[in-house]
Amino acid sequence: MATETAVDVVMPQMGVSVSEGTITKWLKSGGEEISADEPLLEISTDKVDTEVPSPATGTLQEILSQEGETVAVGTKIAVISPEGAPAAEAADVPEPATAQAAAESEDASGAEGETATAEPAQEAEPGPAETAEARPSPQPPPAGDGRGDKAFVSPVVGRIAAEHSVDVTQVEGTGRGGRVTKKDILAFIDSGGAKETPAPAQEPAPPEAHAKPAERAPEPATVQAATPAAPQAGETVEPMTPMRKGIAEHMRRSLDTAAHVTTTFEVDMARVVAAREKLKREFQEKHGVKLTYLPLIARATIDTIGDWPWMNAEVRGDSIVVKQYVNLGIAVALEGGKGLIVPVIKSTEGLNLLGLTRAIIAIADRARSKKLLPDDVQGGTFTITNPGGFGAIHGTPIISQPQVAILDVEALVKRPVVVTDDDGNDSIAIRPMMNLCLSYDHRLVDGAYAAQFMRDLRERLQTWDESAY
């Protein structure tokens, strides 16, 4: 039976720090014939989306992990019955004749299960040469056809290609045998070559884009190098979820990228409070939606962005890219405090207050019930975060890359403030006050620009004109 042992297909290791992968598509279905190295399925990991070649020629006997499933590296995901061995025969374990044989059989399958994570099962016993050759290589061949001289991608070139989503085969190589050197790929990127790659590659993914993480930069060295220390007494240790890792990487990268500055404005929300009181009932009764302060503030912010376009921009290399649309990201905390996701509402400049309210409610619901699509978390141009609901009165939020600003909406609190009437008389009054904190990227946005944006936003809120919305 040994020579006819079915070949396991395992989730490949796609990089040093990658621990799991998601099956995005099976290219073959059960019972179909396949030859060695023919693409068998597509997977998506923290680092790359890629095809997995078949480790052997034969029949795809069984698919063990379905599309959409995320499994650890080394997990058996399918079984291929090698050429010459009928699928049924390979699948059947012969009936043990005696109790002794049954025990041996169980031992053997147990051992196979253990080794499956590290190496294909057939390695336990010498198989025929062609089976051994067809075994999956520990690392997939680098970009290109994996055969020609040019196809060798050095570690640094591979890293740069991943960071900039460059297809290495498109780069002219000047190294030995036409190999693409670091200089070649840097020159290619400098000359704008990277921009010719498909659209999603142009923007680094936001932190929450787990579903499509191909364009994410590799983790900074500090994260990679850190070897977790063994737990000490009194400590509990749990692995980071992919979302946690994504947040950690993105937050660190954002601080390493943008020149963060935070400015805070106090806003008298009396008119907004009054407007909401008035509209709340109408929204509930006529449209069945609950109106919070967030849509009102968001609406005013979007309008103010219209006058200060650099708030809705991106630093791309040496260029300033101003977006004509406001794709508004809304930070949503997940229950249990164990995650954060920033779904994006597209083209909010075209939504009135009711439309925006509905969109915010819909997307927040989808975020909390984990029904967001990859598209829902991409392409943001400006973000609003709203920790005020918990009572926070000041914050210095971190910008979601590649955006240049994030607005932090703080708690609405009643405060004694000095108000001046039309005749110039001062008096102390109790007013509903709110702090708005704006973190902006000083690489692009200067202090005066940010302050004027905030001044106008405050003005819009303080003089809220219902008819405008």
Partner 1 sequence: MAVKTYLQAISDGLRQEMQRDKRVYVIGEDIGVYGGAFKVTQGFQEEFGAWRVIDAPLSETAIVGSCTGAAIMGLRPVAEMQFADFISCAWDQLVTVAAKQRYRAGTAVPIVVRLPSGGGFSGGPFHSQNPESSFAHIPGLKIVCPATPADAKGLLVSAIEDPNPVLYFEHKHLYRRIKDEVPDERYTVPLGKARVHREGDDVTVVTWGAMVYTADEAAKQLESDLSVEIVDLRSLSPWDKEAVLTSVEKTSRALVLHEDTRTGGFGAEIVATIMEESFESLDAPVKRVAAPDTPVPFSPPLEKKFIPQVEDVLAGLRDLAEY
Q: Which one of the listed residues 303, 446, 456, 465 is annotated catalytic?
A: 446
Nearer to partner 1, 21 or 158 (CB): 158
Helical axes 447-462 vs 293-307, angle rounded to 10°: 130
Please choose, out of 176-184, 246-254, 304-312, 362-370, the segment that lies near partner 1 by the rule CB under 8 A.
Answer: 176-184
Pairing of strands 328-330, 319-322: unpaired
Residue 101 or 156 having the CB closest to partner 1: 156
- What would the x/- binding string for partner 1 be over residues 202 to 221, using CB under 8 A? ----------------x---
Catalytic status, residue 287: no
Tokens of 388: 């005020």
Q: Are 249 and 439 in contact (CB under 8 A)?
A: no
Contact between 395 and partner 1 by CB under 8 A: the answer reads no
Based on the shown chain and the rule CB under 8 A, indicate whether residue 158 belongs to the binding site for partner 1: yes
- Of 311, 271, 333, whose CA–CA distance to 451 is shortest? 311
Instruction: Pick the piece of the chain touching partner 1 (CB under 8 A) from 155-163, 269-277, 368-376, 450-458.
Output: 155-163
181 near partner 1, judged by CB under 8 A: yes
Nearest to 167 by CA among 191, 190, 148, 142: 142
Residue 402 amino acid letter: P
**How many chain residues touch partner 1 (CB under 8 A)?**
13
Least CB distance to partner 1 at residue 191 (A): 19
Task: Measure the CA–CA gap between 142 and 376, rounded to whole angstroms.
Answer: 31
Q: Give the range of 5-13, 42-50, 179-187, 189-197 binding partner 1 by CB under 8 A.
A: 179-187
Kind plus residue range of the DSSP H or E element containing 330: strand 328-330
Task: Quote the CA–CA distance of 356 and 346 in Å, as a whole number.
Answer: 10
| Maximum distance among all Cα pairs of the chain, rounded to whole angstroms | 105
Q: Which is nearer to partner 1, 157 or 171 (CB)?
A: 157
Cα separation, 322 vs 4, whole angstroms: 61
| Interaction of residue 138 with partner 1, rule CB under 8 A | no
311 binds partner 1 (CB under 8 A): no
Among 426, 442, 456, 465, the active-site one is 442
User: Are the C-beta atoms of residues 205 and 378 closer than 8 Å to each other?
Assistant: yes
442 is annotated as an active-site residue: yes
Round to the nearest angstrom and report the end-to-end CA distance of the chain: 75
Does 225 help bind partner 1 (rule: CB under 8 A)? yes
Q: Which stretch binds partner 1 (CB under 8 A): 35-43, 173-181, 321-329, 445-453?
A: 173-181
Q: Which residues are catalytic?
A: 442, 446
Contact residues toward partner 1 (CB under 8 A) are 154-159, 175-176, 179, 181-182, 218, 225
